[in-house]
Amino acid sequence: MSSTEPINLLGLDTAALTDLVGRWGGKPFRAKQLQRWVHQRGADSFDDMTDLAREFRQQLTAHCSIHAPDVSSEHRSADGTRKWLFDVGKNNAIETVFIPEDDRGTLCISSQAGCTVACPFCSTGYQGFNRNLTTAEIIGQLWYAKRAVQADLSSARVGDQAEAVPEPARVISNVVMMGMGEPLLNYDQVLGALRLMIDDNAYGLSRRRVTVSTSGVVPMMDRLGRDCPVALAVSLHAPNDALRDKLVPLNRKHPLAELLAACNRYLEHAPRDFITFEYIMLDGVNDTDQHARELIDIAKQVRCKFNLIPFNPFPQSGLKRSPAARIRLFAQRLMDAGLVTTVRKTRGDDIAAACGQLAGDVKDRTRINERLPDRAVIAIKQERG
């Protein structure tokens, strides 16, 4: 950033904002006021911040800005899911999804333009990787979506529409770092965003309602446990190293034994007393009774719950979703063993907003996508024999 480029306040946590205000002779409470204007009230103009001194507002106008990435498009699903495509510059775009449910409103946000992990069942992986997002770009997705959801709520208060949407679904009550990218491979920028999400002067979310999903970046899991423990979801997807090496290539660097040990270390700090294991259901690949038995063995090693995710097909993968009957039977095997197990409801698939479908538009610098199709086919053939 050049010295003349405005400072985007969306990217500053409490400490950084307090330091900035202090350099102008302001007291720490001024930074808190400013933070509340930006994140709680969603202000995008310093002129609107009427309880701040005029001289202070003039300094802010001269040196700072408040802006999220530009929105290229928005889509609404028949089930109420909303998806935004954000332009993050140089022909790269990321996707963000809001999912209203009866008891919550969940925002799924991205942390990278693309992804280097290259799981063959994930559409993002076929886009390759361009760069990490900044804290301002990460928190900007929440800032923008909150304003958009609140605008809908304001219009819904008129007439019968207000009664059609359950109250909890009208606000963003939960944030999940499950969009494009591997959050823990963009650790410093994600950490800044997480701290804003749980700050009472910013978004004030409970640590239990902010979830980081990781494919198993063990060293960063340990750092997150020390720095800002929030709810943790681990993209497991396979119950043994041989299969996980194919489905989650990061497993070759941090195999299951190492990953499970890191999960137990994380639980010493976590706001919840379990790890959520995400498990995508792939027909004939990882959905047999033997795989279920192996998952039961894993659950003996880590306090956990399982979230089974029906695969959302896309052309490049060569993979198929497990049949509904197979998913039900697989879930029942786990529940019969006393394990908390849920099957994720597919939401937003008509606008390509469902789990694993987020692709955005990434100018790949890695050529990962050239290698992915062969990997998917190999995984199927070896598992089916």
| Closest listed residue to residue 198, CA positions, set 142, 278, 246, 277 | 142
Contact 341, 277 (CB under 8 A): no
Contact 133, 29 (CB under 8 A): no
User: CA geometry: angle at 184 spanning 181 and 185, to 5°?
Assistant: 65
d(Cα 46, Cα 37) in Å, to the nearest integer? 9
Which DSSP state fits 36?
I
d(Cα 363, Cα 114) in Å, to the nearest integer? 9
State whether the Cα torsion 309-311-316-320 is positive or negative: positive
Q: What is the DSSP string of 76-93?
A: E-TTS-EEEEEE-STT-E
| Closest listed residue to residue 237, CA positions, set 214, 212, 253, 263 | 214
Residue with tokens 């976590």: 270
Which DSSP state fits 239?
S
Q: 62 is written with which tokens?
A: 């001269």
d(Cα 1, Cα 157) in Å, to the nearest integer? 43
Please identify which of the residues 95, 137, 278, 383 carries the catalytic annotation.
Answer: 95
Please identify which of the residues 137, 228, 355, 383 carries the catalytic annotation.
Answer: 355
Kindly state the greatest CA–CA separation across the chain.
73
Annotated binding-site members for [4Fe-4S] cluster: 115, 119, 122
Annotated binding-site members for S-adenosyl-L-methionine: 181-182, 213, 235-237, 312
Cβ within 8 Å of residue 257, ≥6 positions away = none
Phi-psi region of 332 (alpha: psi -120 to 50; beta: other; left: phi over 0): alpha
Work out whether strand 64-65 and strand 7-8 pair parallel, antiparallel, or are unpaired.
parallel
Work out whether strand 341-343 and strand 304-310 pair parallel, antiparallel, or are unpaired.
parallel
CA 80 to chain centre: 19
Annotated binding-site members: 115, 119, 122, 181-182, 213, 235-237, 312
Is 101 an annotated catalytic residue? no
Which DSSP state fits 208?
G
Is 355 an annotated catalytic residue? yes
Residues annotated as part of the active site: 95, 355
